[in-house]
Structure 1
């Protein structure tokens, strides 16, 4: 499959480009970015060419892999789908439900396959655990922690600390999708009046309370501004089967992304939608948008 890469930032350079270039069933056809010099450099490092025009890249490929901020990703993904390109998207697919639905509508009209790269859903141990817990059912409640110190006071600079969209949108939009990618398959969709509640904590910390189909509830703590000693991620489920926790991933984001590429190839070949396709990406965006709206209505701080 001929795949084009949109994006030239740290995530594109560290994960997308090398995984695509090394994949035995993929040809990395070209790279487009908002910075032409960076696109040329990334393309040269991975044995391909840079494109000045994304539409020209769409015309030369079967699929696109997107490593761009969500507000930039959304319109380009819709254009790529309209051009007949299968989609390998990053989370969140957009930061408004309207933009997410526009991607889904374009993908439907173009009859293209899609996979959203939720890292934990493409790591074998967590992926197997999530599938098993969803099959069991009977979960009463759950709690997720996705807590990082990326923007904490005194944290050292790194490739992702310069991300404007992460600073603007915060933990709700950056790590919230990871938590939802585990909670939704295990407990079911979030439905009903006031099914999404959110409260602000210190820094960009957000506490979510969700009500799922069938009556189960879950909570999630999301932060990019926690002290380094408090950082970590985990999910605990409680129900008629007892208590179980999400196992640690063991393969790293690069290998997980390669498995996301495999998932897209499988979906294209079989015609079967992947569990993390654009429709799932839309639902995650809708829930996050509802949480943001609840934050706007509620008190400014917790406690």
Structure 2
């Protein structure tokens, strides 16, 4: 499958470029970015060639891999789908419900495959844990703490600290999708967006998110990008009739996980079978996060 890479930031450099170069069934056809010199650099390191015109790249590929801020990703994903290109997208797919649904509508109309790269869903060890807990069932409570310190005073330098969209949208939109990608397949969908989503904000723009799931279980998420480095944590815990379990740390790195997402997209395109992390799941995550944002108002 010939991929066009859209984006030239840290995630394109650290994950998408290496994953596409290493994958035996993928070819990096070319790279487009908002900075032509960066596109030339990425293309020079990982293969393909730089493109100044995104439509010219779409003509020369079978699929797009998008490593762009969500509100730039969304219209380009629609454009790619309308051109008949399969979609490998990043989370969140958009930060408005209308933009997310626009991608889903375009993908459905064109009959293209889609996969959204929720990292933990493509790490074999964490994906297996999620599936095991889904089969076990009987869970009453879920808890996800996703607290990072990339914007905290005294934090170690991060390649993502210069991301304007992360600074603007905060942990709800950046790490919230990771939490939901684990909780939803185990506890079930949110019962309803009006009465089953609550959110409050705190110091450092942390967000406490509470959800009631259709299964009857409830869950909470603590999300943030500016907590003290010593307080940073990534943890998911479930409690129910089987006792208490905690998500294991994954050993698979982002490049290998992204390679598994490429496998999933190729399989979906070949068979016509949708993947559980397709654009429809990406839309649902956006709907839940948008409902939480509405509870927070402008905070």
**TM-score, length-scaled by structure 1:** 0.97
Pairing 1:26-65 to 2, within 5 Å after superposition? 26-65=26-65
Q: Secondary structure at the match of 1:93?
A: coil
1:296 corresponds in structure 2 to: 297
- 1:73-107, Cα deviation, whole Å (9 max, x unpaired): 00000100010000000000000000000000000
1:77 corresponds in structure 2 to: 77
Residue 262 (structure 1) aligned with residue 278 (structure 2) = no
Q: Secondary structure at the match of 2:203?
A: coil
Residue 279 (structure 1) aligned with residue 283 (structure 2) = no
2:178 corresponds in structure 1 to: 178
1:92 corresponds in structure 2 to: 92
Report which stretch shifted further, 136-145 or 164-173. Answer: 136-145
Give the CA deviation at 1:232: 1.5
Cα RMSD between the aligned structures? Answer: 1.0
Pairing 1:185-200 to 2, within 5 Å after superposition? 185-192=185-192, 193-200=194-201
1:159 corresponds in structure 2 to: 159
2:8 corresponds in structure 1 to: 8
The number of equivalent residue pairs is: 298
1:105 corresponds in structure 2 to: 105
- 1:150-193, Cα deviation, whole Å (9 max, x unpaired): 10111133211000000000000000000000010010000234
Q: Is the 8 A contact 2:29 2:47 kept in 1?
A: no
1:234 corresponds in structure 2 to: 235
Give the CA deviation at 1:136: 2.0
Structure 2's unaligned 5+ residue stretches are none
Stretches of 4+ moved more than 6 A in 1? none
1:67 corresponds in structure 2 to: 67
**TM-score, length-scaled by structure 2:** 0.98
Structure 1's unaligned 5+ residue stretches are none
Q: Secondary structure at the match of 2:146?
A: strand
Q: Secondary structure at the match of 1:266?
A: helix
Residue 211 (structure 1) aligned with residue 188 (structure 2) = no
